[in-house]
Structure 1
């Protein structure tokens, strides 16, 4: 793994609350901005200050949470407020931040499309003026970078969906979507790791478990991974014994 050191990155730093500060590198969804956000989060965790609680990296931002009283007591000799102290701390980390060239982990996830596994496949096809097989071909042709985990344990927010199959969310969300369901919501695609309510257009389902709380690493996917969907038949789905290629 190599890294690139550069001058202080351009970022907006603002107070989210009395105990949280957000650092935003941009507003678009891109691998470059996501790498910057994850690099900053890693550096914060490596060099925490007294009163630091946790930080969370998103698409193009990092939010840092801290104990207000601990920061105030520790740095009370300084004229700056706790927020201004944290702001200066972040600025110092942004200077010469290393953006590591990661060894991407590529994961193939089998999906059975359409039928009882993908009740919205026909709608996605009709909305985009395509045949159902065209939707499947486009969906499986892409490579999807994982930007962050959120919404539900193990749910990966990804980029890379072909514009030809962008489809708006359902006007009436379902009260329950089965675990493993693969959906499209606007310009994104994702996999429901648990049975939850949801409004994405469900086009298929994977037999792979994305969230296994009993394991040391409970989530299959992590930021920085590259996901590839692989089509399988109903028979293959039913015979699937677990594991990822």
Structure 2
């Protein structure tokens, strides 16, 4: 069940529409559904729409629309009866080299779950995941949700640097880093996929709502 969306001002020219205080399947789907509705029915004056895990940020031109009017337009869009946009996006098969130097935390993660490395990789790759959101860093992809039996918390220590292509695991999700970043997630492998290229148009290949199937590199 999704909480009643909160419509909040963010600075002088932005609005946050939040569908939950914590990450859940329902809240994430509601944020994605609202984003698709905005794509289908653009609001005059809105210059940027940025979906997140449980919220959607709208940046607007104050010369074209004010906060109160925009809040009214958003309210109408949230309550309007519309044909539900298909939330299933494209499917991406992502080849991963698990473990070794490219996945230094794989053994520890498998041990914490009382699984062999082989059993963990098989369980990790068993389900088609959904891209919950992109962001945090350019091209960074959050994928979920894994079953509760595969949940582990993030690491206590942050690694100051991991390379682009690192495949990360924590809190029921798998993430793909598209650039070199620090992280507190467990690094379980690496992929040749690069989801961010500033010279490419569009610069990212994967969008929220897309499907992800992870496969062990052979």
Aligned to 1:88: 72
Q: Is contact 1:37-1:62 (8 Å) kept? A: yes
Task: Give the whole-Å Cα distance in 1 for the aligned partners of 2:89 and 2:13.
Answer: 34
Deviation at 1:149, TM superposition (A): 0.8
- List alignment gaps of at least 5 residues for structure 1: 1-8, 75-81, 234-245
Q: Which range moves more in the overlay, 24-33 or 86-95?
A: 24-33
- Shift in alpha-carbon separation, 1:223–1:132, aligned structure 2, 3 A: same
In structure 2, what is the Cα distance between the partners aligned to 1:25 and 1:167? 25
Matches within 5 A, 1:203-218: 203-218=188-203
Could you report, residue by residue, the CA deviation over 1:187-212 in whole angstroms, capped at 9, with x for unpaired residues?
22111111221121111111222222
Q: Which runs of 5+ in 2 are unaligned?
A: none
Q: What is the TM-score when the length of structure 2 is the normalising length?
A: 0.86
Question: Contact between 2:36 and 2:85, CA under 8 Å: does it hold in 1?
Answer: no
Candidates 30, 34, 42, aligned match of 1:47: 42
User: Deviations 1:156-182 (Å, cap 9, x if unpaired)?
Assistant: 112122322322222221121111111
For residues 3-152 of structure 1, the aligned pairs below 5 Å read 10-27=4-21, 29-30=23-24, 32-45=26-39, 46-50=41-45, 52-68=46-62, 70-71=63-64, 82-98=66-82, 99-152=84-137
Q: Secondary structure at the match of 1:153?
A: coil
**How do 1:120-199 residues align onto structure 2 when only pairs under 5 Å count?**
120-199=105-184
- Two-structure CA RMSD over aligned residues (Å): 2.3
User: What per-residue deviation string (whole Å, max 9, x for no partner) do you get for residues 89-116 of structure 1?
Assistant: 2112223253212453111101111111
Q: 1:167·1:186 contact (CA, 8 Å) conserved in 2? A: yes
Instruction: Give the Cα–Cα distance (whole angstroms) in 2 for the partners of residues 89 and 39 of structure 1.
Output: 16
Instruction: Determine which structure has more spread, i.e. the larger CA radius of gyration.
Output: 1
Query: Which deviates more, 100-109 or 35-44?
Result: 35-44
Displacement of 1:150 in angstroms is 0.5
Partner Cα separation in structure 2 for residue 87 and residue 29 of structure 1: 23
What do residues 16-47 of structure 1 show as CA deviations (whole Å, max 9, x unaligned)?
33322222233454555434323433444543
Report the number of matched residues: 214
SS in 2 for 1:17: coil
Q: CA deviation at 1:10?
A: 4.5
| Alpha-carbon distance in structure 1 between the residues aligned to 2:151 and 2:141 | 17
> What SS is found at the alignment partner of 1:169?
coil
